[in-house]
Amino acid sequence: METVIKLSDISKVYTTKTIETQALEGINLEVNKGEFLSIMGPSGCGKSTLLNIIGLLDRATSGDIRLFGKELSGLRDREMARFRNENLGFVFQSFHLIPTLNVIDNVMVPLTYRKGAGDRRKLAREALEKVGLSHRTTHFPAQLSGGQAQRVAIARAIVGNPSIILADEPTGNLDSKMSEEVMQLLHGLNNEGKTIIMVTHNEAQARDTDRVIHLFDGHLVL
Amino acid sequence: MSKIKNLWNNRRSIVWIFVELVIISVLTWIIADPVAVAISDASLPTGYDNDRLVIAEIAHLDPDAPGFDPARDSLDVNSADVETVLMKLRNYPGVESVTIDKGFGLPGNTANTLDSPRCGNEAVDTVVGMVSVFYYHRGTDYFQTLGIKSSEGSPSVEELSETDASAPDKVIITRELGELYWPGENAVGKKFVRSSRDGEERFTTVAGVVEGIRHQLPYRSYCAIFYCGDHIFDDEPQRTFKAVIRLADSDRIEEKCEELYAWGSKELVTGNFYLRTIETYDDFLEDTSKSLGIPNQLMLRYILAGFFLVNLVLGVVGTFWLQTRKRIAEMGIRRAFGAGRGSIVGMMLGENIILASIACVTGFLLYWQYAMRNGLEEGYVNNGAFNVVDNWIIHFGQHFIIVSAIVYLLIILCVIVGTLIPAMSVSRVDIVDTLRSKE
C-alpha cells in the first residue's frame, strides 16, 4: 500500500510568556492511501493539534511531515497554502461556513484560490449534488440545519477533489440522525478512494473506520 | 467581480460604512474646495519680479521738527532733493535700478484703486468693467525696476518708462486687459473712454502694453492701467515717498537691507529728507496681506481643513480597521482552504477600495446637485474687477473633476491605510487561532 502521510518524531510545544505546554511528543505515524483513520483520546490530549499539523494548518515544533512522499516542514507559507488547496480537504466540528456567502459560494471558496479550476460553479453544484444539497444552493448558512451545514462543509472539502480529507469531530455538533448521514457521506468518499483522517470521541464511529489510534497526553498509545 | 459579489453579500453589515463614506466625501468636498482654490491662487505668478526688490521709505521732517530747514521746502528744492536721494541710491554698490512710488504705484499695495474705463472703438462703448490703477513717474525706470515685461507688439519697457501718459491722454495697459477689450488685436493705439474729474468723457489712447500683474495678492485679476502720475511732482513739495530698489542679486537680501539702512541713515539725509525704514518687497507684500486679514482667513481655512483631515483620517482609518479586524474568522477559513496572505490582503483592500469608490461617486453626485445651484469656490476675486485668468477654477467641469480627484485620493488613501495594516496583521495570524476565534 502506498503511504500518503508519514509523520516522524513530531512534537509540538505551545509557548507563552510564563509556561510551555507539550501538546505532542514523538509522534510517528503512517497513513496509507485510501485508509480511513480515526484518532481518539480525551479532551486536550492533542488530537486536533495532530490533525492541524497533518493538514498544514499548524507547524510542528520538531519532527518531519511527509505527504505523498514530499517533505513539507520547510515549505513557505504560500507553498503550504497551495499544497493545502490542491491536496487537502477540511471538515470542522463547527462547520466554519462563511455566513455572508450562500451555499454554492461557500462551496466554491477552495476553487477561488486555484488556477485553472474550470467551471467553478459547475464543480460546486456537482459537489452539492453528491451531498444531496443541490436544491439549497442559494440558501445562507443561517438558513440551514446543523446536518445540512456539515454536508455543505463536506461539499466544500471535496469540491477541489483532494486526496486527503481531514475531519475534526465532524459530528460533534450534530444529533445522532444527522451524525449518521454525515458518517455515511464520509464512508462513501472513502469508498471512492479518498484517504480520511477523523478526530472523534465517538467509539462506534471510530470502530467503523479502518484503523483507530489513541492519543494520551500528547503521546500515541498503542 | 468576486469582490463586488462579496460586498453585495456583506451589504447588511457595510451599509452604514457606505453611508458614512458618502457623508464624508461630501464634507471633504466642502472643506477641500476652498483650500485647493486658495493654494492654486497663491501659486499664480505675480507678473513682476519681487525677488531682488527692497523698499526704502524716505520720510520728510515735519515743519516743527528739530533740524527742519524751511529754505529747502520750496517745490524746486524739494524736487531736487528727491532726485538727489534717488541718485544716491542708484549709485550705491549692488543696486541695479531705482524707481519712486508716491502712492498707488506698487503692485500689492492696499491703497491701489479701481477704475472703470470703457472701450471706445471710435466712441462705441463695448465693455464696462473695473480694472486696477497704478501710477508711475516718467524717467524713473518704473517698469524695469519692478520687472514688468512689455508685450509683443508694444514699445519696450525702457520706452514705456519714458512715456508721459498724462499728456496727451495716453495710458499703458496690461495684455490681459487689451485682449479683453480688443480680442486678437494689438491694443497699442486703441482708445478708451474715461470720465475725467470734471465729469466729462474723453478718449485715452493706449501707448503700450505690458504683461499682466496682480493688483493685490491673493486676488486673481491681471487687468491694470498705468497712468503717469503727473500731479504728484508738480503740485506741492513732496513729503514721504518710497524708493523701490532692484538689487543686482538676491543673495543675503536681509543682510543687504541692514547694510543699506546703516549706510542710508547717514548718507541719504538730504535737505529735510531722511531714511526711515527699509524692508524687502516680500515683507511689504506680507504686511499688505496682513492688513487685509488675508493670512488670518487663509490660516482659518487651513486649520479647519487640517482639523477635518485629522478627523477624516482617524474616522475612516478606524472604521476600516475595525471592519477588517471583524473578518478575521472568515480569513482563517479562506486561508485553510488555500488563500495565501497576499490574496487575503488583496481581497480586503480591493473590496474596501471598491466600496469607497462607489461611496465617493455617490457623494460627488450629491454635491454636484448642490454645486449646480450654488456654484463652486471662486477664491479671492476683486469685487467687480475682471477675472481674466483662464484656469481650472473658473471652468465648472474641470473644477469639479480636479477637486473630486483630490477628495477621492484623500479618502482612498485613508481606506488603504485603514485596511492594509490590519489586513496584513490578519493575514499573519495563525490559522488555527483564527478558526478558534469563530468557535
Domain spans of chain A? 3-221
Residue B124, pLDDT above cutoff 50: no
Per-residue pLDDT of B146-163, as tens digits, reads: 999 999 999 998 888 877
Contact flag A112-B335 (C-beta cutoff 8 Å): no
What is the per-residue pLDDT for B232?
Answer: 46
In angstroms and rounded to an integer, the radius of gyration of the C-alpha atoms of chain A is: 17
Per-residue pLDDT of B327-344, as tens digits, reads: 888 999 999 999 999 999
Smallest Cβ–Cβ distance between A109 and the set B9, B337, B438 belongs to B337
What is the per-residue pLDDT for B390?
Answer: 78
- Which percentage of chain B shows pLDDT scores above 90? 39
CB < 8 Å to B329, chain A: 96
CA distance B409 to chain A (A): 29
Span of A76-80, B59-63, B291-295, B320-324 with lowest mean pLDDT? B291-295
Contact flag A105-B5 (C-beta cutoff 8 Å): yes
The CATH architecture of the domain made up of A3-221 is 3-Layer(aba) Sandwich (3.40)
Contact A158, A130 (CB under 8 A): yes
Residue B97, pLDDT above cutoff 80: yes
What is the per-residue pLDDT for B269?
Answer: 94
List of residues 6+ apart from B256 with CB closer than 8 A: B54, B94, B247
Residue B3, pLDDT above cutoff 60: yes
What is the per-residue pLDDT for B227?
Answer: 82
Cis check for the bond before B63: say yes or no (omega within 30 of 0).
no
- B192: Cα separation from own chain's centroid: 29
Residues in chain B whose beta carbon is closer than 8 A to a beta carbon of chain A? Answer: 2, 5-6, 9-10, 13, 329-330, 332-343, 430-432, 435, 438-439
Q: How many helices (H) and strands (E) does chain B have?
A: 14, 12
What is the per-residue pLDDT for B22?
Answer: 96
Per-residue pLDDT of B9-51, as tens digits, reads: 778 778 999 999 999 999 999 999 999 998 888 888 888 988 8
What is the per-residue pLDDT for B196?
Answer: 61
CA separation (Å) from A214 to A24, A45, A140, B211, B278? 12, 9, 37, 94, 96
CB < 8 Å to A82, chain B: 338, 340
Alpha-helix residue ranges (DSSP H) falling in B43-128: 75-90
Residue B121, pLDDT above cutoff 80: no
Contact flag A94-B336 (C-beta cutoff 8 Å): no
Q: Which residue in chain B has the smallest CA separation from A53?
A: B432
DSSP state of B165: T
Contact flag A82-B333 (C-beta cutoff 8 Å): no
User: A110 and chain B: CB distance < 8 Å anywhere?
Assistant: yes
| Three-state DSSP class for residue B114 | strand
Contact B238, B46 (CB under 8 A): no
Residue B209, pLDDT above cutoff 90: yes
Contact B116, B129 (CB under 8 A): yes
CA B39/CA B334 separation, integer angstroms = 47
User: A143 and chain B: CB distance < 8 Å anywhere?
Assistant: no
Burial of B99: CB neighbours in 10 Å, binned 0-12, 13-18, 19+: buried
Kindly provide the ipTM of the predicted complex, given to two decimals.
Answer: 0.92
CA B302/CA B304 separation, integer angstroms = 5
CB < 8 Å to A160, chain B: 338
Q: Is the pTM of this model over 0.80?
A: no
| Three-state DSSP class for residue B22 | helix
Contact flag B337-A52 (C-beta cutoff 8 Å): no
Contact B318, B418 (CB under 8 A): yes
The strand order across the sheet containing B273-280 reads B95-101, B241-247, B53-60, B273-280
What is the per-residue pLDDT for A129?
Answer: 94
pLDDT tier, B416 (very low <50, low <70, confident <90, very high otherwise) = very high
List of residues 6+ apart from B196 with CB closer than 8 A: B202
User: A113 and chain B: CB distance < 8 Å anywhere?
Assistant: yes
> Cell match 498724462: residue?
B166
Q: Which of A109, A121, A139, A158 to mutate to test the interface with B (most CBs of B within 10 A)?
A: A109
Per-residue pLDDT of B50-63, as tens digits, reads: 889 999 999 999 98
What is the per-residue pLDDT for A16?
Answer: 84
List of residues 6+ apart from B278 with CB closer than 8 A: B54, B55, B56, B57, B257, B260, B261, B264
CB < 8 Å to B10, chain A: 100
Degrees, nearest 5: CA angle A17-A19-A21: 125
Smallest Cβ–Cβ distance between A100 and the set B2, B10, B343 belongs to B10
Contact flag B338-A84 (C-beta cutoff 8 Å): yes
Contact B333, A109 (CB under 8 A): yes
> Cell match 501538546: residue?
A23
Cis check for the bond before B218: say yes or no (omega within 30 of 0).
yes
> Cell match 490660516: residue?
B299
CB < 8 Å to A86, chain B: 338
Residue B439, pLDDT above cutoff 60: no
CB < 8 Å to B2, chain A: 112
- Grid cell at residue B183: 480680442
Residues constituting chain B: 439
Residue B396, pLDDT above cutoff 90: yes
- Over residues B88-109, mean pLDDT: 89
Question: For the residues of chain A, what is the DSSP string, one character each?
Answer: --EEEEEEEEEEEEE-SS-EEEEEEEEEEEEETT-EEEEE-STTSSHHHHHHHHTTSS--SEEEEEETTEE-TT--HHHHHHHHHHHEEEE-TT----TTS-HHHHHHHHHHTSTT---HHHHHHHHHHHTT-GGGTT--GGGS-HHHHHHHHHHHHHTT--SEEEEESTTTTS-HHHHHHHHHHHHHHHHTT-EEEEE-S-HHHHHTSSEEEEEETTEEE-
CB < 8 Å to A113, chain B: 334, 337-340, 343
Task: Report the DSSP beta bridge partners of residue B133.
Answer: B113, B225
What is the per-residue pLDDT for B231?
Answer: 46
Smallest Cβ–Cβ distance between B341 and the set A77, A84, A110 belongs to A77
- Grid cell at residue B357: 469608490
CA distance A96 to chain B (A): 7
Q: Comparing C-alpha atoms, which of B290, B278, B288 is closest to residue B53? A: B278
Residues constituting chain A: 222
Smallest Cβ–Cβ distance between A85 and the set B338, B342, B435 belongs to B338
Residue B123, pLDDT above cutoff 50: no
CB < 8 Å to A127, chain B: none
Contact flag A113-B343 (C-beta cutoff 8 Å): yes
Per-residue pLDDT of B79-90, as tens digits, reads: 889 989 999 999
User: A156 and chain B: CB distance < 8 Å anywhere?
Assistant: yes
Contact A153, B378 (CB under 8 A): no
Backbone angles phi, psi at B134, to 5 degrees: -130, 145
Contact flag A112-B2 (C-beta cutoff 8 Å): yes
What is the per-residue pLDDT for B404?
Answer: 97
Q: What is the mean pLDDT of each run of 10 residues along chain A (222 residues)?
A: 91 89 92 95 91 93 92 87 94 92 94 84 94 91 93 94 94 89 93 95 93 93 76
CB pairs under 8 A between A and B: 69
CB < 8 Å to B424, chain A: none
CA B299/CA B293 separation, integer angstroms = 10
CB < 8 Å to B348, chain A: none
Buried (b) or exposed (e) across B295-327, using 16+ Cβ within 10 A? eeebeebbeebeebbeebbebbbebbbebbeeb
CA distance A1 to chain B (A): 28
User: A85 and chain B: CB distance < 8 Å anywhere?
Assistant: yes
Q: Comparing C-alpha atoms, which of A26, A70, A5 is closest to residue A211? A: A5
The strand order across the sheet containing B131-136 reads B113-115, B131-136, B224-228, B170-174, B201-210, B191-195, B118-120, B125-128
Contact flag A81-B339 (C-beta cutoff 8 Å): yes
